[in-house]
């Protein structure tokens, strides 16, 4: 796997590589939210992406970048969330085996989604150590290639294609793009695409107050863990990696934190006004724009809605 920061050309190549398998998701607008923010908002709807999240992009690009030899032994990862589905989906698309390690307390809806793609699921206790140990056993037994959910340049390159499409689809220049930050795969890809395809566009990250590691790392200059974890945005709990953090440090303008209440308010606007099912993590960038709207008056703002995988039985409203 690649050991250099993605270039304009690698992002363009990745886009061509994954295009046959992904949706070119629509960019939507809302007069109501424009009026509310006194700005012009362009929503990149990755909740409408395959598997319901942008992660399909990174997973596909990583798998499609492997050699025939590597693919023969399959792919493995650990995840209870969208990355598990992305890898299972991408492996199924090209007929490779996927070995997914999931915590034994994962919701059955997520386990079933992964199994539906034909992946082999191995359960483990829900600690980082147990997850990694279980993956290590699989790698030893099968020779499968491990694909990290974000700290992997092919994954970052894949995620970068969402902002590339957004920039291409909005006819005028965006003043800024906002995307959520968890481990940093999406935001670092977004920052690179802005740099290459729309150099005048600033990139901001949205982060939950209850998993505020990135904003801390951004300020201190080294990777930090969150002071505490307590947020509804369950896709953004991890901290940054040594591949994502330097890109963020160099190319992201600022990291804006939002409370769970602000996230749920943003979610409600997306559901009620735009008729889009968006998961809490997917509404964080919208929440950030709403909270800091006074800073962005009159600007053209691209917003990445990152995913829509929610349990309808457990809605916050």
User: Interface residues with a second copy (CB under 8 A)?
Assistant: 26, 28, 47-48, 52, 268, 271-272, 274-278, 308, 312-313, 315, 317
Q: Is 80 tagged catalytic?
A: yes
Q: Is 186 helix (H, G, I), strand (E, B) or coil?
A: helix
Choose, from 30, 79, 80, 285, the residue flagged as catalytic.
Answer: 80
Min separation Cβ 245 and a second copy, Å: 31
Min separation Cβ 42 and a second copy, Å: 15
Q: Is 198 tagged catalytic?
A: no
Asked whether 180 and 303 are in contact (CB, 8 A), the reply is no
The residue assigned the tokens 């009026």 is: 35
Rounded CA separation 245/210 (Å)? 19
**Alpha helices (H) in 81-225, listed in sequence order:** 82-93, 108-116, 128-142, 153-169, 185-197, 213-220
Rounded CA separation 205/256 (Å)? 6
The residue assigned the tokens 């929503």 is: 43
Asked whether 166 and 47 are in contact (CB, 8 A), the reply is no
The residue assigned the tokens 């920039």 is: 167
Q: CA end-to-end span of the chain, whole Å?
A: 43
Choose, from 55, 202, 243, 291, the residue flagged as catalytic.
Answer: 55
CA angle 265, 269, 273 (to 5 degrees): 165
Rounded CA separation 156/55 (Å)? 10
Asked whether 154 and 2 are in contact (CB, 8 A), the reply is yes
User: Within 10 A of 297 (CB to CB), how many other CB atoms are there?
Assistant: 9
Rounded CA separation 110/98 (Å)? 15
| b (16+ CB within 10 A) / e for 220-259 | eeebbebeeeebbbbbbbbbbbebbbebbeebbeebbbbe
Min separation Cβ 270 and a second copy, Å: 9
Q: Which residues are catalytic, by number?
A: 55, 80
């Amino acid at each position: 796997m690649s050991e250099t920061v993605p270039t304009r050309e690698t992002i363009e190549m990745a886009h061509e590589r994954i295009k046959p398998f992904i949706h070119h998701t629509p960019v939507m607008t809302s007069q109501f939210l424009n009026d509310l923010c006194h700005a012009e908002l362009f929503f990149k709807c990755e909740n409408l992406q395959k598997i319901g999240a942008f992660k399909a992009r990174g997973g596909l690009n990583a798998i499609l970048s492997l050699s025939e030899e590597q693919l023969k032994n399959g792919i493995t990862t650990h995840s209870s969330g969208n990355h598990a589905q992305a890898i299972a989906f991408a492996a199924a698309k090209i007929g490779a085996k996927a070995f997914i390690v999931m915590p034994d307390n994962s919701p059955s809806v997520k386990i079933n989604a992964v199994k539906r793609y034909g992946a082999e699921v191995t359960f483990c206790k829900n600690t980082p150590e147990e997850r990694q140990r279980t993956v290590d056993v699989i790698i030893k037994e099968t020779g499968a290639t491990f694909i990290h959910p974000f700290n992997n340049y092919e994954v970052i390159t894949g995620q970068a294609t969402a902002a590339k499409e957004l920039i291409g689809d909005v006819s005028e220049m965006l003043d800024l793009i906002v995307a959520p930050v968890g481990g940093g795969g999406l935001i670092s890809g977004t920052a690179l695409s802005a740099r290459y395809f729309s150099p005048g566009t600033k990139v901001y990250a949205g982060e939950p107050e209850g998993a505020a590691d990135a904003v801390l790392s951004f300020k201190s200059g080294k990777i930090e863990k969150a002071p505490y974890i307590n947020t509804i945005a369950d896709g953004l709990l991890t901290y940054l990696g040594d591949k994502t953090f330097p890109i963020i440090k160099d190319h992201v303008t600022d990291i804006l934190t939002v409370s769970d209440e602000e996230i749920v308010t943003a979610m409600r606007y997306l559901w009620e006004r735009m008729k889009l099912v968006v998961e809490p993590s997917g509404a964080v960038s919208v929440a950030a724009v709403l909270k800091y709207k006074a800073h962005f008056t009159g600007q053209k703002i691209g917003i990445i809605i990152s995913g829509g995988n929610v349990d309808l039985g457990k809605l916050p409203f």
